[in-house]
Structure 1
Amino acid sequence: MSGPVADGRAVVVTGLGVLGAVAADPGDLSVALRAGRCALTAPAPPADADRPGVSWPAFTAELASEDVPKRALDALPGLPEDLRTAARRTALRAPAPVCAAVVAALQAWLEAGLDRTAPPPERIGVVVAGNNLTERVTEDGRTRAERNPVYLPARYALHHQDTDHVATLSRVLGVRGEGCTVGGASASGNLALAHGARMLAAGAADVCLVVGAMTPLSQLQTRGYLTLGAMAPAHGAPVRPPAPFDAGHRGFHPGQAAACMVLETVASARLRGARSLAGLVGAAVVLDGNHLADPSVDGEVRAMEGALAQAGVSASDVGWVSTHGTGSPLGDRTEADALRKVFGTGDDGPWVNATKSLTGHCLSAAGVVEAVAAVVQLRGGFVHPDPGRREPVDASLRFTGDEPRRARGGFVLSNGFGFGGINSAVVLAHPQV
């Protein structure tokens, strides 16, 4: 987004959805956030754990099984029968991550009241956050085909493409407007929110579903992150996962979740009588001119200041910051430095928390998951705790600690930073500010 928009095309949030290891729906997410319920557990070692050079994650937040999204779809309450039939016929044949995206989208669709009244299908768009979403599908397909070529699923050529998410959502929900995937590594979620907001502000759609796609990692991806030093290894791991920005951090802990946020123009929401849950009032995406994994204070500062400027609010108006907060020593230190530059220090600054301390790092979906979590907290008037932070890396920032805090003010800034110098931030506002 490049500047303020006319009131009628201002962007509001009218629906939320989430399905993951930490919560089965937005209501469950609210309970988990307030309680500081952490979904991270230590996984079992791989079968080849004794081989030289083999490592695995210290902690993960994974679905109990691949059947969870299918069971969630069957159990989804309040779903009109025709929509349930379309979802079952399409999503139950899809890979588990696509089915999870459909469940999250349907939750948001129902909360927004789009099952009762909606713009024409041509005025509804969908943006899916993420890139390299299907490497696990490719890895599993290769394993099956190597055993016997006839084991390769007939729809593999469709399922191995990221756009399978967009196509399946379009089919289930009858979306006929603009649709695409938006990739920016771990910044993908915020990029998708920015793209969806721009679509509405430009008049290309009246409603846009922004979906963060769950990404089960392949073995190769997992070992790649471990080799890079970005993911916390099991070797030498503590008994409990340290929270981001704790001195004991050793890298990120992967998490699994799909999330959806329905964005809508104010004019469309008023016409439909839809309730505004929050406003998406600012977004910024900037590059570092860097192709590596090392972050930049300057880039992160420019993203945060850009989002605040577009929102028309000052740093002092922000009640709390939902950090990128991965648990990477360099990443946490860089973001802490950037936060100090933007917000200063002291007891009058914003609260600082990191949803990844509870959900794990949901990778491409992280920005959407954390935006949903931010709106849940805005609605509930609290800022979630971060259990597991015993020794903050920067004592000058107002980390929430072990207890939830009272939300101050009506604005939250949510960060998302990706490999290759991709920096993003979005500003969400309470509907009454």
Structure 2
Amino acid sequence: MTEITPRAVITGMGIVTPLGDSPATVHAALCTGLSAIGPWRSIDVSAADLKIGGDLGAYDPLPRLEALKPRLSAPAARSLRRMLHTLPWSMRLGLLPALTAWLDAGLDSAPPADPARVAVIAAGHTINSQYINRTGLTFETAPGQIDALYALHSLDCIHAAAVGELIAARGAVYSLGSACASGLHALRAGLMEIAGGQADVVVVHAPAAELSAVELHSMALMQTVSLSGDGRPQQASRPFDRQRDGFVPAHGTATVVLESPAHAHARGARIHAGVLAVAATSDGCHLPLPNAGGEARAMAMALSVSGLTAGDIDMVSAHATSTPAGDAAEITALRQVLGARLDRIPINAAKSMLGHCLWAAPLVELVVAIEQMRTGLLHPTLNLTDPDPEFAGLNLCAGAPQRQTVRALLKNSFGFGGTNAACILAHPDA
């Protein structure tokens, strides 16, 4: 294998999805073939055409957060107690993977010497949509009853600021949005903070999109989502299948701690993965029209920057939304970049079970991919019962988990508005 030199390393991970609230539990559920998709319960979808999704509305993060308090500093514990009483749902939920990742990295017991070299980047835009929508409706009838902190809590950057307060970060704290590529764009920004000498540690956080019925109905009107799931929601997301007809939106949140290799090694940190490259391109089109050319450029750029070749890639964690055009464009792009090697590389699709976590999807699926690399067990692609003939000859992980030694992997994420991103990760022992 080509010699690997990571530009940064991932030392901490946290995740919450409807299938579990730790990397290990989510990975185990996916390998069992469980689906997170069902009827929406936390959103009133009576007027919306889209009725199904991956719903975390009933999940209560408080018990796990309470259990973490003894590991927090006194100021952080006080801040957490206050935030849990005042923050909107998505922000409260996101504090769990953020703190879990920080603690997983061991930065509670050995905090960075200079807080000004700790940054936080949140991935996403209009994250608190349902909170914003509900506040608007309340204002129409009872202006005095709206959240007094609405002007603050409706800001996208407030997610990064809340996490930054808990970990005492004094470096750059901001958010960025690039639709469903946001998580990888945030990871790329974290690499740039480290490479530019501005930070030693970057917490890259992807909050759950707090969807409302308005977004769900609009997705249906755009004909981008699956409307075939009534009565069989767990079969609605079917990447690469001939019967695929659209994606299924879902809640999900994840966080990774990114460090410079020197900083991580100096403190003896456990390393989950090395980040070799994150590349981004655009298609010059604001419409949701998947473009194989732009996707291929992102993958080829990531491969070039990483210093690896197609022969070094051992698995692909695909974007694979289950839309007819999207899956086809991604496979076309993969063939352009990886050539004949693609026939021998396992490709799987977490969205077949998790649904599409939107701006958080890249980081949610990145954590899942790292678990697969760590364990050597790849989860299946669910509902792939009638593979599209266009993808003949490919190993799309249909049916059952697969054993695979993964030294390096490719993760793809693409978003509406022609945003493309690709990331290459390496096993810490590669």
Q: Same fold (TM over 0.5)?
A: yes
Give the CA deviation at 1:238.
Answer: 4.8
Q: Is the 8 A contact 1:353 1:400 kept in 2?
A: yes
Partner Cα distance (1:78, 1:215) in 2:
29
Q: Is the 8 A contact 1:15 1:110 kept in 2?
A: yes
Deviations 1:276-316 (A, max 9, x none): 11001011101111111101111011111111111111112
Runs of 4+ in 1 over 4 A off after TM superposition: 44-49, 234-239, 345-348
Equivalence for 2:320: 325
2:18 corresponds to 1:21: yes
- How much is the aligned-residue C-alpha RMSD, in angstroms? 2.2
1:298 to 293, 302, 315: 293
Residue 13 and residue 78 in structure 1: after superposition, are their counterparts in 2 closer, same or farther (change >3 A)? Answer: farther
Partner Cα distance (2:384, 2:42) in 1:
26
Deviations 1:149-193 (A, max 9, x none): 111011111111101101111111111101111110011011001
The amino acid that maps onto 1:105 is: A
Residue 118 and residue 250 in structure 1: after superposition, are their counterparts in 2 closer, same or farther (change >3 A)? Answer: same
Give the CA deviation at 1:396.
Answer: 2.4
Length-normalised TM-score, structure 1: 0.92
2:205 corresponds to 1:205: no
Q: Is the 8 A contact 1:55 1:234 kept in 2?
A: no
The SS at the match of 1:398 is coil
Give the CA deviation at 1:17.
Answer: 0.2
2:185 corresponds to 1:185: no
2:35 corresponds to 1:41: no
Partner Cα distance (2:342, 2:117) in 1:
46
Equivalence for 2:252: 257
- Please show how residues 213-228 of structure 1 align to structure 2 within 5 Å: 213-228=207-222
Q: Is the 8 A contact 1:323 1:352 kept in 2?
A: yes
The SS at the match of 1:431 is coil
Q: Is the 8 A contact 1:91 1:102 kept in 2?
A: no
Partner Cα distance (1:202, 1:74) in 2:
37
Partner Cα distance (2:25, 2:79) in 1:
26
Equivalence for 1:343: 338
Residue 81 and residue 206 in structure 1: after superposition, are their counterparts in 2 closer, same or farther (change >3 A)? Answer: closer
Deviations 1:21-64 (A, max 9, x none): 12111221221232222111134798785x7xx5124x311114
The SS at the match of 1:275 is coil
Give the CA deviation at 1:361.
Answer: 0.4
Partner Cα distance (1:48, 1:254) in 2:
13
- Please show how residues 18-417 of structure 1 align to structure 2 within 5 Å: 18-43=15-40, 49=46, 54-57=48-51, 59-65=52-58, 68-76=60-68, 79-80=71-72, 82=74, 83-119=76-112, 120-234=114-228, 238=232, 240-345=235-340, 349-393=344-388, 394-417=391-414
Deviations 1:234-263 (A, max 9, x none): 577756224211111111111111100000
Partner Cα distance (2:230, 2:62) in 1:
36
Residue 92 and residue 407 in structure 1: after superposition, are their counterparts in 2 closer, same or farther (change >3 A)? Answer: farther
The amino acid that maps onto 1:313 is: L
Partner Cα distance (2:65, 2:228) in 1:
34
Deviations 1:100-159 (A, max 9, x none): 221101100011011011222111001100112122211011122223111101111111
Q: Is the 8 A contact 2:160 2:205 kept in 1?
A: no
The SS at the match of 1:387 is coil
Q: Is the 8 A contact 1:45 1:56 kept in 2?
A: no
The amino acid that maps onto 2:358 is: L
Partner Cα distance (1:15, 1:47) in 2:
36
2:6 corresponds to 1:12: no
Q: Is the 8 A contact 1:22 1:61 kept in 2?
A: no
The SS at the match of 2:220 is helix
Partner Cα distance (1:347, 1:230) in 2:
27
The amino acid that maps onto 2:72 is: P
The SS at the match of 1:233 is coil
The amino acid that maps onto 1:22 is: L
Partner Cα distance (2:136, 2:381) in 1:
40
Q: Is the 8 A contact 1:283 1:424 kept in 2?
A: yes
The SS at the match of 2:308 is coil
The size of the alignment, in residue pairs, is: 422
Length-normalised TM-score, structure 2: 0.93
1:429 to 410, 423, 426: 426
The SS at the match of 1:399 is coil
Deviations 1:352-405 (A, max 9, x none): 001111211000101111111111111111211112111122122210112111
The amino acid that maps onto 2:184 is: N
Partner Cα distance (1:46, 1:124) in 2:
36
Q: Is the 8 A contact 1:346 1:398 kept in 2?
A: no
Q: Percent identity, please.
A: 34
The SS at the match of 2:274 is strand
Deviations 1:329-372 (A, max 9, x none): 11111112112222235785210001111211000101111111
The SS at the match of 1:403 is coil
Structure 1 gap ranges (5+)? 1-5
Structure 2 gap ranges (5+)? none
